[in-house]
Structure 1
Amino acid sequence: MADQFDSALDLLRRLNPAHTSKNLSAICSLIPAEEENLLASVDQPLSVRRCKKSGRDYLLCDYNRDGDSYRSPWSNEFDPPVEDAELSSERVRKMEVRANEAFDVYRELYYEGGTSSVYFWDLDDGFAGVVLLKKNSSSTAARGTSGAWDSIHVLEVVEGGRTSKYKLTSTVILNLGSSGEALGQLDLSGNMTRQVEQDLPVDGDEGHVVNVGKMVEDMELKMRNLLQEVYFGKAKDVVGDLRSIPALSESNRDKATHREMINSMSGMKV
């Protein structure tokens, strides 16, 4: 079974990341015994569901799932309902509510739309959680371009008096597509994961929400800059070397002018 699990992960790494959800579903149907392990190990684009009680959208992931049901962070209820569902303690639930309020503001300020969800649960020596953010660029679909950003921030907090140890593992899934007569079909998809650990002072439960918010904000800023400067910059250089937007005749005319200028300069006497 371990060989099947490792082979499935290896196969998913080699397939088009834009189709991760479809490929993962197909692999799970082939090896149903490893479905739970695969769903817990593979990051895939987040899905959105409407909370029936509050009327607000929330994001689905493996951390708010119980079988085929998902818990809404707004109502704290599973859909479909689950008997004897395991819920977080009252203290952790209060922090979860406050964190959802805070990241809802963060989402509006940084993403100007999209959907956010935060889920917390208890640990023996603290608590853990996940911060989810999703934004689809559907307004440009009519012009032949599309884009989707999914960020998944998994955190673990070990409480120790005045200071607590925070471990944050962040994954960004980015899908960009473009089609047109000038460029043809362009698909840029992938994911990136980074991890950080910090010991931070804590002033009550509100301090945990503040610390988590700062860490997620800093991590997203670093990952956005890295994507823009390294990955997008490199992709732009590669595409620029491989493909030319101007017509071939125009490029040839520029090259001929350049050669003529070089030849005339080489014939000049100093």
Structure 2
Amino acid sequence: MASQDPFDCSLDLLRRLNPKNTTANLNTLINLVPDLTEDLLSSVDQPLQLARCAKTQREYLLCDYNRDGDSYRSPWSNEYTPALSDATYPSEKLRKMEIAANQAFDVYRELYYEGGVSSVYFWNLDDGFAGVVLLKKCMPSVASGPKSTGTWDSIHVFEAIDGARTCHYKLTSTVILNMVSGGDDLGEMDLSGNMTRQIESDMTVDNAERDHIANIGKLVEDMELKMRNLLQEVYFGKAKDVVADLRSVATLSQTQRDRAIHQEMITSMSRR
């Protein structure tokens, strides 16, 4: 019997564990198999962590794409914390685009999320560039009770391959959702999970700085809209049907009477 690849086994195990505990499970696997640290961190999407830029005092999001060793780069100051002497930075031209993209998605975040934190990071490729757009929103639900919270993490990784007058974009989007609703009367419900979708598109680029940001913004906006609709119609709809079948506000006797009346109506109509 051929031995199984430890990396594939680790990914398979993470898929079967509670997505709410992805970070803790990932750290446990890294401690067990230190040789897989880089591969696991670059392959597994986990809830985004917050940090504060020491220079600008603005919050930014941490991920594997702005990490160099144990340090993370701020999109606002372009500095690593802790400081590094040989860190990797985007080129000067790409850094200007990165600044403009962070400003654009900061407006997008405020319009669509009405709060939260956004961060955009770019890096150079031989035939273009790549980047990631990060969005995070945490919302405690005071109206539903102190035990109710919700967290939304969006991770949009893209590649932009330059052509003559067009650019080929590859976008991979992941949404990580965690919702906990509870109270003394209803108990607690934990709805956690993630969804990943991919898309490729060729789009016109006349002015590189302006058009790249507009094209990436359109792709991210369209993808988030599709994923929100899928969550609303498929996942939330399915969860609602399951809960409705498991729990009922009406008493058992009332439910049985309703079913009997319904069956009697169907029988009467079939005899006509």
Q: Deviations over 1:69-114 (max 9, x none)?
A: 0000000000000112111101100000000000000000000000
What residue number does 1:252 align with? Answer: 253
What residue number does 1:39 align with? Answer: 41
Query: What residue identity is the alignment partner of 1:147?
Result: G
Instruction: Give the aligned CA root-mean-square deviation in angstroms.
Output: 2.2
How far apart in 1 are the matches of 2:106 and 2:166? Answer: 26
What residue number does 2:23 align with? Answer: 21
How far apart in 2 are the matches of 1:26 and 1:186? Answer: 26
Say which of 203, 207, 210 aligns to 2:211: 207
Aligned pair in 2 of structure 1 residues 202, 181: CA closer, same or farther (>3 Å)?
A: same
What residue number does 2:192 align with? Answer: 189
How far apart in 2 are the matches of 1:173 and 1:257? Answer: 40
Query: Once the 2 structures are TM-superposed, how far is the Cα of residue 263 of structure 1 from its aligned partner?
Result: 6.6
Q: Deviations over 1:9-37 (max 9, x none)?
A: 11111100000001100111000110110
How far apart in 2 are the matches of 1:218 and 1:264? Answer: 46
What residue number does 1:51 align with? Answer: 53
How far apart in 2 are the matches of 1:259 and 1:132? Answer: 53
Query: What residue identity is the alignment partner of 2:167?
Result: S
- What TM-score comes out, normalization by structure 2 length? 0.92
How far apart in 2 are the matches of 1:120 and 1:253? Answer: 61
- Which moves more between the two structures, 13-22 or 179-188? 179-188
Say which of 220, 226, 229 aligns to 1:222: 226
* Contact 2:120/2:133 (<8 A) preserved: yes
Aligned pair in 2 of structure 1 residues 64, 264: CA closer, same or farther (>3 Å)?
A: closer
- Which moves more between the two structures, 23-32 or 250-259? 250-259
Q: Deviations over 1:192-225 (max 9, x none)?
A: 0000000000121211000000000000000000
Superposition misfits of 4+ residues, deviation over 6 angstroms? 260-267
What residue number does 2:129 align with? Answer: 127
What SS does the corresponding residue of 2:140 show, helix, strand or coil? coil
How far apart in 1 are the matches of 2:229 and 2:266? Answer: 43
Alignment map for 1:55-74 (pairs within 5 Å): 55-74=57-76
What residue number does 1:112 align with? Answer: 114
Gaps of 5+ in 1: none
What SS does the corresponding residue of 1:144 show, helix, strand or coil? coil
Q: Deviations over 1:143-192 (max 9, x none)?
A: 32111000000000001121000000000000011122443221111100
Query: What residue identity is the alignment partner of 1:137?
Result: M
How far apart in 2 are the matches of 1:36 and 1:151? Answer: 22
Q: Deviations over 1:24-68 (max 9, x none)?
A: 001110001101100100000000000000110000000000111
What SS does the corresponding residue of 1:238 show, helix, strand or coil? helix
Aligned pair in 2 of structure 1 residues 86, 245: CA closer, same or farther (>3 Å)?
A: same
Aligned pair in 2 of structure 1 residues 52, 215: CA closer, same or farther (>3 Å)?
A: same
How far apart in 2 are the matches of 1:88 and 1:179? Answer: 45
- What TM-score comes out, normalization by structure 1 length? 0.92
Gaps of 5+ in 2: none
Say which of 144, 149, 153 aligns to 1:150: 153
1:238 aligns with 2:242: yes
Identity, in percent, stands at 62
